[in-house]
Amino acid sequence: MTDQYLSGLVLTGRRVVVVGGGGVAQRRLPRLLESGAVIDLISPSITPTIEGLLANPSLTWVERGYTSGDLENAWYVVVATDNVAVNDEVSREAEERRIFCVRSDDRSRATAWTPASGQHDNVTIGVLGGGDHRRSAAVRDAILEGLRTGELGARDAAGRRPGVYLVGGGPGDPDLITVRGRRLLAEADVVVADRLAPQQLLDELSPDVELFDAAKLPRGRAAQQEEINRILVERGLEGKVVVRLKGGDPYVFGRGFEEALACAEAGVPWTVVPGITSSISVPAVAGIPVTHRGVTHEFTVVSGHLPPSHPESLVNWDALAQLSGTLVLLMAVENLPAITERLIAAGRPANTPAAAIADGTLPSQHRVTSTLAGIAEAMRAEAVGAPAIVVIGNVVDVGESARSTP
């Protein structure tokens, strides 16, 4: 076997070409984007989650198949199609141009291998296990856990228990998933992941893990809940370790208990692994406490996916307007003008402080502050879109006072 020379590539501002728009590309793109690379993704089609990543200006989708010359000025190439002839053609051009090339289908014909990688603080771990991907992932996880706890040692993976695990991935930052959630991802045979789940964690999965894209893009393609339930039950009955990876917490507007009921009815063992909900963590990271002594004695978390006038809305907006505490709105970007208008009409003061936080806990996090009457327009003016958390209440001013303290 050929020995590999493990090195860290500095890709900031450099062109990287990814050929293929399926699951492998979906796993690799988040870390490539984190590295600062300028990426051209060449593929006739892409997954819904990759479609969501196109909001990043460093990623460009070239909507066609690969053609000769596509690697010009590239520094690094990832080949991730299911067509061997195309993969061979890309590899040949990469070899001719002396560009390191990773292949998802045949590592023996590649000039670079992707290690099992992870990060803790400013430490990046990369492990090559000679082709044994589960071993690479296990060693990486043991090192990362040792860094987190202060003890370095091998992780015991002998206790794998088949079943469905409803795992909350936290608000977005991959470091904010629970230790148990991360362990389960390392042990998984199947991962069913939402778009709002921490996408960088998917790059840490073993290549033989079956990844099901359950992304629900706003006004885009969606995996129906019935299909998600079917996959969970079917793979669970096959005796596999199935991780249902969600953003935030599985039971906070995540339909987690619907999936638990489907498993229970089918006789599939299931376990919930709670996650950090974005309704509390995103305001906190943005400097806004949802409660504060002498300011508020309650906070209310509300789904804004339906406007107040919708016949299927279960929210008593008029009652909410009478509360003096903190109001946290999830999934409310599209309906925010109607929501704020209803709250004001029902008695909530128009000058109540308000803030919106987009991409909470991620490097692209952006915060906008205004009043209840002005927050929707402020978001529009600064192009703040989904996913975003809206906070209404005097705690916003509390956060502002802390931000202005020297």
Neighbouring residues of 107: CB distance < 8 A, sequence distance ≥ 6: 113, 131
Coil, strand or helix at 208: coil
Residue 194 is a catalytic residue: yes
Neighbouring residues of 183: CB distance < 8 A, sequence distance ≥ 6: 141, 155
Residue of 216, 240, 318, 397 with catalytic role: 216
Burial 226-253 (b: 16+ CB within 10 A, else e): eebbebbbebbeeebbbbbbbbbbbbbb
- Specify the residue for token string 């990814």: 18
C-alpha to C-alpha distance for 117 and 68, rounded to whole angstroms: 31
Structure tokens at 43: 């593929």
Beginning with the edge strand found earlier in the chain, give each strand of the sheet holding 59-62 in spatial order. Answer: 59-62, 38-42, 15-19, 76-79, 100-103
C-alpha to C-alpha distance for 122 and 120, rounded to whole angstroms: 6
- Specify the residue for token string 């978001």: 379
Residue of 194, 203, 249, 359 with catalytic role: 194
DSSP string, 90-127: HHHHHHHHT-EEEESS-GGG-SB-PPEEEEETTEEEEE
Among the listed residues 353, 202, 200, the one whose alpha carbon sits nearest the alpha carbon of residue 283: 353
Q: Which residues are designated catalytic?
A: 194, 216
